[in-house]
Structure 1
């Protein structure tokens, strides 16, 4: 009886065909996974937007991005600059009430327990970039240079990192070392801006610069509320490029700006030396939640003037069809 089986040549041809099919299939699988991660990221932004809207409905205004006095303010307006960011204030509206109870927005960020500071919330993380177990920075001291008068060796305290920041506005108020610069309290023209405190016994008991729906004169559907923050792929979890999102000390840890001179980061390797930009790790787009609660993906090549109009709440330039 003749023997049955594959010859060596037939086996090699079969393996080559299987290899080609796998090579053709892998990009499709990767694209499918990225599409799922992008949808997950979009859902995170939707939850953040709805939580922020609920905060407004209950408190009567949007949360301050952080508490930040202006240089030269009197003592009763000069407290709270190290207190937690806006992402702590909306926790109860993200079904994170127990975690919110661990925080005191009147106390300095670094005075909270390390296990509290470093607890990452999945809603604040884009799955294309990182997961909760890896989303943290250690306490480090680095040389920091900025126009805000805070240059020199600075200690950045350990904390959870995240991928979504509030819209602080654009660069038009300035960033050249004046008290009118955008990052000082009350100067931002976005929605989640730095605010001056009202101090009682050296602690911020309220904030002065309150943004309400009536202040968004360009329309809620035309104004960005929050979006994905750019982090260079080589600087992930490395302060000051990537810092603790619950900390209000540096505005770029939990808010960003966009517009002329501040484009969207085109890719994950983009170097933003000022740490101002929005940006994502999704190819070609960056996702944003708007003040009406909707979520949209903007092209990373969007015109910077159009981006600026979307970031400024009241410039009279209503941008639609973006």
Structure 2
């Protein structure tokens, strides 16, 4: 009689070494694919940013077509838009407020309409807080309101207010910003009544501007002697990364003289009058040593030794969170990306509508 030893079933599986090899291979593949995924996401965000600028540019052109001039920059950073003041020099609110009806945000310009005194003052606080996602670049930050820190002459302070990642072209020459003239007792006009306001900027200085938007004035398309395809209207503004979601790194006391002073280019509502929050002055030059200077476009947080500040004038510059450059919408409605290392004279020419320099 033959005795047969039963065969053991063969076990199927991975050895520890094989498992470790598989895990290592998966890790390598993920490491290779992750940059591609991130690049694809950034490309999508960049495309969305350009599309927003396209819509803003069309709104500016539609405004110009209707009013025969681009929107004025408003009176100063302590004035919000007045629904009863129309457009142009008489309107204390800035260019964003004035083009709101052309981007399907007419409701913003109706808030507080037909009221006076404290009623209007309180109503315009709500205006300050209306967030429009189109004015935020998704590569930089979500479309969220931020704490309100600056007092206004004609509007109360909401808890939060809307910001913008885009600024109008104020020209190659800086035109100073200011709070604006003090208000009358009704909060509806300046003391003495428009146009007899206590303006800070002289008319000579303002009339010399060569961009698209300045204090109380907007350019006319016929003034673009360089051509609408060689001058930009609106672009991305520079913001330090440290301020993407922070208003200030100082203790904030609303209404204090220094509230938000370390964040001068992004510390108030986008509907405010003329200020660096909504207008920038792109300029470029070459000094006697051949060094490029001026308000050249900046990659977010590359400016100065301290990335938490605008030290040195970054609050006057265009800039972006994109690696390749800054997006701009031109006066012909086209959108282009300009590299951060653009030649200073070319950059200066793009900001000046009548200097005779045409970029090639």
Which TM-score band applies after superposition, normalised by the shorter structure? 0.7 to 0.9
CA contact (8 A) 1:84 1:246 kept: no
**Alignment equivalent of 2:107, drawn from 94, 98, 102:** 98
CA contact (8 A) 1:171 1:262 kept: no
Alignment size in residue pairs = 280
Quick check: which has more Rg, 1 or 2? Answer: 2
Structure 2 gaps of 5+ residues are: 1-8, 77-88, 178-199, 248-259, 285-293, 305-309
Q: 1:180 to 1:302 in 2, by over 3 A?
A: farther
- Aligned residue number for residue 243 of structure 1: 267
Q: CA deviation at 1:82?
A: 9.7
- Aligned residue number for residue 128 of structure 1: 139
- 1:227 and 2:227 equivalent? no
Corresponding residue SS for 2:58: helix
- Aligned residue number for residue 74 of structure 1: none
- 1:194 and 2:178 equivalent? no
Q: CA deviation at 1:84?
A: 1.9
Aligned-partner Cα distance in 1 for 2:92–2:108: 16
Aligned-partner Cα distance in 2 for 1:165–1:105: 30
CA contact (8 A) 2:111 2:126 kept: no
* Counterpart mapping for 1:181-220 below 5 A: 185-195=206-216, 209-220=217-228
Aligned-partner Cα distance in 1 for 2:121–2:270: 10
- Aligned residue number for residue 344 of structure 2: 304
TM-score normalised by structure 1 residue count: 0.77
Q: 1:15 to 1:39 in 2, by over 3 A?
A: same
Q: CA deviation at 1:173?
A: 6.8
TM-score normalised by structure 2 residue count: 0.70
Q: CA deviation at 1:266?
A: 3.2
Alignment root-mean-square deviation, CA: 3.1
CA contact (8 A) 1:166 1:192 kept: yes
- 1:33 and 2:73 equivalent? no
CA contact (8 A) 1:87 1:245 kept: no
Q: CA deviation at 1:174?
A: 8.3
**Alignment equivalent of 2:297, drawn from 264, 286, 304:** 264
Structure 1 gaps of 5+ residues are: 69-79, 142-154, 196-208
- Aligned residue number for residue 162 of structure 2: 160
- Aligned residue number for residue 169 of structure 1: 171
Corresponding residue SS for 1:252: coil
